[in-house]
Amino acid sequence: MTYCVAMMLERGLIFMSDTRTNAGVDDVSRVKKMHTFEISGERSMILLSSGNLATTQAVVGLLEERSKAPDDRDPSIFRTLSMFQTAKLVGETLNEVVANMRIHDDQPTAHAFSATMILGGQIAGSDPRLFLIYPEGNFIEAKADNPFFQIGEIKYGRPILSRAYDPQMDFAEAAKLLLISFDSTLRSNLSVGLPIDMGVYKRDSFKVGPFRRFDEHDEDFRAISHGWSDALKHAFSRLPDLVVPDE
220 binds a copy of itself (CB under 8 A): yes
Among 131, 156, 182, 206, binds a copy of itself (CB under 8 A): 156
Nearest to 67, CA basis, from 100, 48, 43, 41: 43
Q: Is 171 helix (H, G, I), strand (E, B) or coil?
A: helix
Is the CB of 41 or the CB of 210 nearer to a copy of itself?
A: 210
Cα–Cα distance for residue pair 133/23, rounded to 1 Å: 23
> What is the Cβ-side half-sphere exposure of residue 145, based on CA atoms within 13 angstroms?
1
Among 91, 195, 200, 206, binds a copy of itself (CB under 8 A): 200
In angstroms, what is the minimal distance from the CB of 79 to a copy of itself? 26
Is the CB of 70 or the CB of 227 nearer to a copy of itself?
A: 227
224 binds a copy of itself (CB under 8 A): yes
163 binds a copy of itself (CB under 8 A): yes
Strands ordered across the beta sheet of 3-9: 148-152, 3-9, 12-17, 196-202, 208-214
Among 30, 32, 111, 187, binds a copy of itself (CB under 8 A): 187
70 binds a copy of itself (CB under 8 A): no
Among 23, 25, 103, 244, binds a copy of itself (CB under 8 A): 244
Is the CB of 123 or the CB of 177 nearer to a copy of itself?
A: 177
Determine contact, residues 9/158, Cβ cutoff 8 Å: no
Using the contact rule CB under 8 A, the part of the chain among 68-76, 119-127, 129-137, 239-247 near a copy of itself is 239-247
Phi, psi of 233 (to 5 degrees): -65, -40
- Helix count and strand count (H, E) for the chain: 5, 12
Is the CB of 104 or the CB of 168 nearer to a copy of itself?
A: 168
In angstroms, what is the minimal distance from the CB of 247 to a copy of itself? 5
Residues belonging to the chain: 247
Is the CB of 190 or the CB of 235 nearer to a copy of itself?
A: 235
Is the CB of 59 or the CB of 196 nearer to a copy of itself?
A: 196
Parallel, antiparallel, or unpaired for β 139-141 and 34-39?
unpaired
Determine contact, residues 142/151, Cβ cutoff 8 Å: no
Is the CB of 41 or the CB of 70 nearer to a copy of itself?
A: 41
CA dihedral (166, 203, 179, 77) positive or negative: positive
96 binds a copy of itself (CB under 8 A): no
In angstroms, what is the minimal distance from the CB of 141 to a copy of itself? 21
Residues in contact with 89: Cβ distance below 8 Å, sequence separation at least 6, in sequence order? 63, 75, 77, 80
Binding site for a copy of itself (CB under 8 A): 155-160, 162-164, 170-173, 175-177, 179-180, 184, 187-188, 200, 207, 209-210, 212, 220, 223-224, 227-229, 231-236, 238-247
